[in-house]
Structure 1
Amino acid sequence: MKPVFLALLLALSAGLPSFAHGPKSHAPGTVVKQEQLPWGIAADKKTPARTIELKMLDTMRFVPDRITVKQGETVRLVLRNTGQVMHELVLGTRPVLDEHAALMAKFPGMEHDEPYMAHVAPGKSGEIRWTFNRPGEFDFACLIAGHYQAGMVGRIVVTAK
């Protein structure tokens, strides 16, 4: 690899979160990284939560693809991959998801392990526990190469208190 390219790659990756698309899951009792993001903050397993089930389909859709929650509400998103290929769910804003999707297209094997992301193998389930503490409209998507581009996206509406 040419030194200039390597230096550029390192400079561009500085400050970016670590990303992973493997079947890795958080071990029970693992401390959840709590960082306030525009779309909320991670919740631990002890926080009471409303359960919302989402199906991940090989037609590159989530069912449902629209969720409404109240500001301050903690939800347990249970993700069921009913398909034959790996899917993921990443919470965020459209600009953040667009940026991450572009990186995934360039570096499909990059790793991440953030509390607002879950990777779900075919026929398996996963979950995200999240507190939506800011009102607004936010997005979720599968950022595996080609899935986002095919329309595997959804919307979360957080209503103000």
Structure 2
Amino acid sequence: MSHVHKLALLAVTVTLAVAGCSGGGSEAPKGTEKAEGGSSRTVKVEMVDKSFKAAGLGTVKKGETITFKFTNTDKVDHEAFIGDAGEQLKYNEELQKNADSHADGGDDGHDHHPEGAIHLAPGATGELTYTFSDNDEVEIACYEPGMYEAGMKLVIPVK
């Protein structure tokens, strides 16, 4: 195989790997769309010990758009989904539906993430941009098995 063919194969492989991590749904939850002109600020979030640690989040204002840059510094996979209570419920129901449709293959639904979430292996990074609308409270949550129940969520009050 020539050097050019190897580079082309590598580019396709990287593109497919990135596309495969984007989820399987067709509709992103409200607020996760990229805002015109980008975000107003960036917040780094560490995923570790069944928690999200957001350095410098401070007060979030209605209408503000924030890009969250996640780093999984833990030893297990984590995911991040941002949304209000209704969006969290809808996302969790979609995960359950995926689990039910893949139950025969031993899949717990987390191999096929709905749109709007990121799934990060240990050491991986990723980002989500969210526009805070009229909600008084938004959560960042991890629904990997047992994580949400163990408290892996970050409640963000919106003023």
Q: Shift of residue 41 of structure 1?
A: 4.5
**Does the 8 Å CA contact 2:39/2:129 hold for their aligned counterparts?**
no
**Does the 8 Å CA contact 1:140/1:154 hold for their aligned counterparts?**
yes
TM-score, normalised to structure 1, is 0.64
Quick one: distance in 2 between partners of 1:25 and 1:96?
18
Corresponding residue number in structure 2 for 1:146: 146
SS in 2 for 1:70: coil
The answer on 1:56 being equivalent to 2:53 is no
SS in 1 for 2:88: helix
Larger fraction in strand: 1
1:30-83 per-position Cα deviation (integer Å, ceiling 9, x unaligned) = xxx88673xx341158514300011001x2111139753111111110001001
1:1-161 aligned within 5 A: 24-25=21-22, 37=30, 40-43=31-34, 46-57=37-48, 59-64=49-54, 68-98=59-89, 100-101=91-92, 104=95, 107=99, 108-109=108-109, 111-115=112-116, 117-159=117-159
Percent identity (aligned) = 31
Quick one: distance in 2 between partners of 1:49 and 1:61?
25
Q: Shift of residue 128 of structure 1?
A: 0.3
**Alignment coverage as a number of residue pairs:** 128
Structure whose CA Rg is larger: 2
Quick one: distance in 1 between partners of 2:29 and 2:128?
15
Gaps of 5+ in 2: 1-18, 100-107
User: What letter matches 1:112 in structure 2?
Assistant: H
For residues 96 and 120 of structure 1, do their structure 2 counterparts lie closer, same or farther at Cα, with a shift above 3 Å needed?
Answer: same
**Does the 8 Å CA contact 1:67/1:156 hold for their aligned counterparts?**
no
**Does the 8 Å CA contact 1:100/1:143 hold for their aligned counterparts?**
no
TM-score, normalised to structure 2, is 0.65
Larger fraction in helix: 2
Gaps of 5+ in 1: 1-21, 27-32
Quick one: distance in 1 between partners of 2:81 and 2:50?
14
For residues 89 and 45 of structure 1, do their structure 2 counterparts lie closer, same or farther at Cα, with a shift above 3 Å needed?
Answer: farther
For residues 35 and 81 of structure 1, do their structure 2 counterparts lie closer, same or farther at Cα, with a shift above 3 Å needed?
Answer: closer
Q: Over aligned residues, Cα RMSD in angstroms?
A: 3.2
